[in-house]
Chains A and B, each alone.
Chain A
Amino acid sequence: MSDAGQPTAKPSGWDILARADVLSGLLFIAIAAFGLWASRHYPVGTALRMGTGYMPRLLCWVLLGLGLIVLAQGLRQPAPPLRSSALAWRAMLSVTLGLVAFGLCIERLGLVLSILLLTGIGAQATRSLRPLETAVAALALIALSWGVFIAGLGLTIPVWPDW
């Protein structure tokens, strides 16, 4: 990583913004600011009789300070900018949506349909998975999880939709 620090031309504003440290600093500051806003009505109390808000607000202020330090370091030290890639967005979206679909459906639609949804949506994360491969994977996973979790461990997960 140390060999990346040789800027040939003056980096543009966007390139500076896209440095890992600049972005993490901003992220920490944003989380801290959000935390301070969310805890604005919590009773703080004193160090001896700490209220609900004492620790949250203290930690948020600390995080804010740390975020500023990271941001300052990121602005000072040259680093290659991060690039967003279509691959990353695709992976993030389909994995998240697949899990959300599973979570929303598991209780009403049961394990089998939920696995179909999770594999169907999750398979969109990569272009290299062919439809037939996805179908085989889904069936294998249904058989495997039924065998392990329902037959083997006797977990009380609904298997079929609850009409």
Chain B
Amino acid sequence: MEFVDNLAIGFGVAMTPANLGFAFLGAMVGTLIGVLPGIGPIATIAMLLPLTFHLEPLSGLIMLAGIFYGAQYGGSTTAILVNLPGETSSVMTCLDGHQMARQGRAGAALAVAALASFFAGCIATALIAAFAPPLAKIGQSFGAPEYFSLMLLGLVAAVVLAHGSIVKAVAMIVLGLLVGLVGTDGNTGGTRFTFDIRELTDGIDVATLAIGLFGVGEVISNLARPEEQRSVIAEKITRLWPTGDDVRRSWRAVLRGTALGSILGVLPGGGATLSSFAAYALEKKMSREPQRFGRGAVEGVAAPESANNAGAQTSFIPMLTLGIPGNAVMALMIGALTIHGIQPGPQIMSERPQLFWGMVASMWIGNLMLVIINLPLIGIWVQLLKVPYRFLYLAILLFCAIGVYTVNNSSAAVLLAAFFGVVGFVLMRLDCEPAPMILGFVLGPLMEENLRRAMKIASGDPMIFVQRPISLGLLIAAALLLLVVALPAIRGKREEVFQG
């Protein structure tokens, strides 16, 4: 059995004391930033990116991945106890989770959230293990035209699945593509948008952009609001165990949430947040008593929590198999790989089986650790929630500054991050979601490169994109998606999903 052998390799490397330690560290940090509103996984991963330079590639990836899915666990704690989403992906958990807590059932809500996440995490990890190898095999037959068409499909999907206005999402992607152009053009050697600033000739680093937009930008956004009164429901956590009735009501919701999250996670622009919104909407629609939702329905906690963890997990599939990031976190993961000189792509699985299978094995281990971190240790996180934001933001700012400085080894990068911080704040204020910008920023240069290569292969004939069957199929899929989203009926549905 090749599959068992592969998993054995994976567990072999993931179970070394060092890697277990990094999985634990990632899970802890992920829970921490998940619990704390005002700092998310994108900013955290960007800040810690420079540290992974000093680690083995696998250890670094294990830690960063742990932060991402750990944040999905931690986010639900804040949603349930404070009625504030610790992460955007736990917005939907607030609705019913907090109601449960107010009815004195905080313990049950926390347990359902953690166990639903754990179940979803296990299934999604198994899906990665099962589907990644065949996908990578397909990926190996891809040439430049296929890659270009695939990335185009990815960008289209990211737009369709983005929050809020579609036109604004497209504009944000274009803005990201433009920022990605800054620097020296690899083909002509000419400089673009560098304004004779020496530090810009090598282009802008993805970590600098992400730390600015998300880390600094969110700090400014949070400070610009009057500090909210957090009332933590803490006294009432007595029973950390769901009742039989809870289990009976929620197991179907968990299954549906896991399935939906696993599918949406693979799609570019998908991932955790979209999955939780869609799962909540689906569950409300499927329920025979939809009026219970919003009043402490346990399904309303189980569905989005399983979906966001499944989505977070399966969003690794396109990154690990094709080297294409589906969301901003995956874009940073690619950054972490390239720091070590590893070219992400379908060859990773055959050339570095330890890296791939080690990651997969660590996800199982990490999810198991997270259940323990989040349930018996819940008291610690409740204490943490009482720390006011004014003590946290200075530390966040400092880690942003040191992170940017060390990843680039340049003080100019810190100034650039400050600039992008203001940009991020202004964009958030104007209801422009900055996440698609990162996607455009990362995919832009890749697309341009593959476009040029495809043109070279076809000696300048653009028909190459429709003559190759896989490429044609991907382009048709992209066109269909665009068409579908333009239909008024679907557009209404889409808005419905996002409004929950």
Contacts and interface: CB of A to CB of B under 8 A. Distances in A.
A85 interface: yes
A21 B165 CA distance: 10
A144 B398 CA distance: 11
23 contacts: A24-B430, A24-B432, A42-B190, A70-B167, A82-B429, A82-B430, A87-B225, A88-B224, A95-B421, A96-B418, A96-B419, A99-B216, A99-B400, A99-B415, A102-B401, A102-B405, A103-B405, A103-B411, A104-B411, A106-B414, A119-B394, A134-B394, A157-B405
A135 B164 CA distance: 42
Interface centre among B227, B397, B462 (most CB of A within 10 A): B397
Interface of B: 51, 54, 165, 167-168, 170-171, 174-175, 177-178, 181, 185, 187-188, 190-193, 195, 216, 219-220, 223-227, 388, 390-391, 393-395, 397-398, 400-402, 405-406, 411-415, 417-419, 421-422, 425-427, 429-432, 448, 452, 455, 460, 462, 499
A102 B414 CA distance: 8
Interface centre among B51, B398, B460 (most CB of A within 10 A): B398
Nearest to B419: A96
Contact of B431 (A24, A35, A63): A24
Interface string A106-127: 1100000011001100110110
Contacts of B223: 87, 90-91, 95, 125-126
A48 B400 CA distance: 42
Contacts of B412: 103
B450 to A, nearest CB: 13
Interface of A: 2, 20-21, 23-24, 27-28, 31, 35, 38-39, 42-43, 47-48, 50-53, 55-56, 59-60, 62-63, 66-67, 69-70, 73, 82, 85, 87-88, 90-92, 95-96, 98-100, 102-104, 106-107, 114-115, 118-119, 122-123, 125-126, 128-129, 133-134, 137-138, 141, 144-145, 149, 153-155, 157
Interface centre among B171, B393, B413 (most CB of A within 10 A): B171
Contacts of A62: 174
Contact of A123 (B167, B178, B227, B394): B394
Given A20-B431, A56-B192, A100 B402 contact: no
B141 to A, nearest CB: 26
B60 to A, nearest CB: 12
B190 A43 contact: yes
Interface centre among A87, A92, A114, A118 (most CB of B within 10 A): A92
Contacts of B422: 92, 96
The 3 A-B pairs with the shortest beta carbon distances in the complex, nearest first, are: A103-B414, A52-B190, A91-B223
B444 to A, nearest CB: 8
A55 B394 contact: no
Nearest to A63: B174
Contacts of A73: 165, 167
A137 B220 contact: no
Nearest to A85: B224
A59 B411 contact: no
Contacts of A87: 223-226
A104 B416 CA distance: 12
A100 B418 contact: yes
Given A63-B171, A118-B397, A128-B227, 4 more contacts: A52-B192, A82-B430, A141-B394, A155-B406
A49 B181 CA distance: 17
A67 B191 CA distance: 26
Contacts of A69: 167
Contact of A99 (B167, B174, B406, B418): B418
Given A52-B192, A100-B418, A128 B398 contact: no
A152 B425 CA distance: 33
B402 A145 contact: yes
Contact of B414 (A2, A99, A123, A153): A99
B455 A98 contact: no
Contact of B391 (A28, A90, A100, A133): A133
A92 B398 contact: no
A114 B400 CA distance: 13
B271 to A, nearest CB: 23
